[in-house]
């Protein structure tokens, strides 16, 4: 589903973040990515989504080489990327609109989107939140809605950047349950070694 070959990436200020980096995500893979702050985990996700272009190497997604901006249009429809900062994912006035945004954008009817919103709220344990104002939610509630917004896109692949941070224990258990139940493939970044082991079947460490 995702193949990164010999990827190197350097920011404008000259910092070399990825050097000859290789990674493969196959159907059924639930990959945990562990590494210290600044090791390049978020950078890696941005390269997969085409938000940053690698200096060297190949990005192959769903068996197609992805180079130009237009190559990534399909990637962004078929890979759900949950940003590290949930405020970047919630930009509509209400929770209902934030959850419906992906499905509507992907061509679902208003009726279908409404159904997906209800199913998603039930799944994430937040029934009754549809009319709430997204920006007034607590940090943990926002993160759970951001997770819901990614699930609502119904993509085959998920990239989850520190999804557990700021969640209370109940919400963490709900998220762990959803991740264990899903047959979607994903790459998840977390600092919590115990949690990441519960939701993955492969674990990779990033060094330097
Ligand atoms: N926009 C940027 N410009 C310059 N350096 C950046 C930028 N974003 C991240 N970096 C640097 O790149 C390195 C990797 O960052 P990041 O991918 O966010 O790491 P992680 O997600 O593993 O904590 C860090 O040293 C960070 O300071
Ligand atoms: Mg990061």
H or E element, residue 22: strand 16-25
86 lines ligand 1 (CB under 6 A): no
Residues of the chain with pLDDT > 70, as a percent, come to 100
- Smallest CA separation from ligand 1 atom 9, residue: 43
Asked if residue 208 has pLDDT above 80, the reply is no
CB atoms within 10 A of CB 122: 11
Question: What average pLDDT does this structure show over 63-74?
Answer: 97
SS3 assignment for 54-121: CCEEEEEECCEECCCCCHHHHHHHHEEEECCCHHHCCCCCEHHHHHHHHHHHCCCCHHHHHHHHHHHH
207 lines ligand 1 (CB under 6 A): no
35 lines ligand 1 (CB under 6 A): yes
Question: Confidence class of residue 192 from pLDDT cuts 50, 70 and 90?
Answer: confident
**pLDDT for 110-159, tens place per residue?**
999 999 999 999 999 999 999 999 889 998 999 999 999 999 999 999 99
Question: Confidence class of residue 52 from pLDDT cuts 50, 70 and 90?
Answer: very high
Q: CB–CB of 85/142 below 8 Å?
A: no
User: The whole model's pTM is what?
Assistant: 0.95
Q: Token pair of 149, please?
A: 């917004």
**pLDDT for 90-122, tens place per residue?**
888 899 999 999 999 999 999 999 999 999 999
**What was the pLDDT predicted at 80?**
96
**What was the pLDDT predicted at 207?**
81
Distance CA 87, CA 201 (A): 29
Asked if residue 191 has pLDDT above 90, the reply is no
190 lines ligand 1 (CB under 6 A): no
**What was the pLDDT predicted at 85?**
83
Residue 11's domain comprises 2-205
**What was the pLDDT predicted at 71?**
97
**What is the DSSP code (8-state) at residue 191?**
S
Q: CB–CB of 15/31 below 8 Å?
A: no
CB atoms within 10 A of CB 199: 21
* Residue 1 CA to ligand 2 centre (angstroms): 22
Indicate which CATH number applies to the domain containing 30: 3.40.50.300
Q: What share of the chain is helix, strand, coil (3-state, %, to 5)?
A: 40, 25, 35
Domain count, the chain: 1
40 lines ligand 1 (CB under 6 A): yes
**What was the pLDDT predicted at 193?**
86
Distance CA 208, CA 203 (A): 17
Q: Token pair of 53, please?
A: 């272009």
* Residue 175 CA to ligand 1 centre (angstroms): 26
Asked if residue 196 has pLDDT above 90, the reply is yes
* Residue 112 CA to ligand 2 centre (angstroms): 34
Residues of the chain with pLDDT > 90, as a percent, come to 85
Question: Confidence class of residue 15 from pLDDT cuts 50, 70 and 90?
Answer: confident
Distance CA 161, CA 12 (A): 23
**What was the pLDDT predicted at 108?**
95
């Amino acid at each position: 589903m995702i193949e990164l070959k010999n990827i190197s990436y350097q920011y404008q200020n000259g910092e070399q973040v990825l050097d000859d980096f290789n990674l493969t995500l196959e159907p059924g893979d639930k990959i945990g990515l562990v590494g210290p702050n600044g090791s390049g985990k978020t950078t890696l996700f941005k390269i997969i989504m085409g938000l940053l272009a690698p200096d060297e190497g190949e990005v192959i997604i769903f068996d197609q080489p992805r180079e130009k901006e237009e190559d990534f249009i399909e990637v962004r429809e078929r890979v759900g990327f949950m940003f590290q900062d949930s405020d970047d994912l919630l930009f509509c006035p209400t929770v209902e609109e934030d959850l419906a945004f992906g499905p509507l954008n992907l061509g679902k009817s208003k009726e279908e989107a409404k159904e997906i919103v209800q199913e998603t709220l039930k799944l994430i344990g937040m029934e009754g939140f549809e009319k709430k104002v997204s920006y007034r939610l607590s940090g943990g509630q926002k993160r759970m809605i951001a997770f819901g917004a990614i699930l609502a896109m119904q993509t085959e692949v998920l990239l989850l950047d520190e999804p557990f941070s700021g969640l209370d224990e109940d919400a963490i258990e709900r998220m762990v349950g959803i991740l264990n139940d899903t047959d979607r493939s994903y790459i998840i970044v977390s600092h919590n070694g115990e949690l990441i082991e519960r939701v993955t079947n492969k674990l990779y460490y990033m060094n330097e």
